Amino acid sequence: MRRTLELSVRYLAIATVASLGFVACSDDDTGGTDPQDTGTVADAADAAVDSESDTTDDEDTGQDTGAEDTGSDATDATDATDATDATDTTDATDATDDADSGSTQVDAGHSGCSFPADLDAGCDPEAYGDYGPASFLNEFVVKKSGECCTDFDGDGATDSALGDLAGQIEGILGIPFNDIIDIQIQNGVLVYLFEYGFWSDSVNDPTVDFAMLFGQDTDSDFAPNLAGNGDFNIDPASLDANNDPKSTFASASVTNGRLVATGGTTPLVLPVGTDLIETVVDEVRVEADVLQGADLQAGGRVALSNGEISGLVTLQELYGSLNSVAQACSCITTDPIFVESSPDNWECVSTHADQAACEGDATASQMCQVLATPSGTESCFSIEFFINNSADISTDADAAKEALSLGATFEAVGAHIDGVAAP
| pLDDT tens by residue, 82-98 | 444 444 444 433 433 33
Q: Where exactly are the structural domains of the chain?
A: 9-50+115-423
Model pLDDT, residue 414: 98
**What does pLDDT average to over the chain?**
78
Considering the chain, what percentage of its residues have pLDDT values greater than 90?
50
Burial 121-130 (b: 16+ CB within 10 A, else e): eebeeebbbb
Taking the C-alpha atoms of residue 79 and residue 69, their distance in angstroms, rounded to an integer, is 9
| pLDDT tens by residue, 357-397 | 999 999 998 788 888 988 777 777 788 888 999 999 998 87
For residue 188, is pLDDT > 70?
A: yes
Q: Which of 210, 162, 214 is nearest to 193 (CA)?
A: 214
| pLDDT tens by residue, 155-164 | 999 999 999 9
Model pLDDT, residue 108: 53
261-267 long-range contacts, Cβ below 8 Å, gap at least 24? Answer: 261/208, 261/210, 261/285, 261/286, 261/287, 262/286, 264/13, 264/212, 264/311, 266/12, 266/13, 266/14, 266/15, 266/16, 266/212, 266/311, 267/13, 267/14, 267/15, 267/35, 267/214, 267/237, 267/238
Taking the C-alpha atoms of residue 290 and residue 388, their distance in angstroms, rounded to an integer, is 38
At 138, the pLDDT band (50, 70, 90 cuts) reads very high
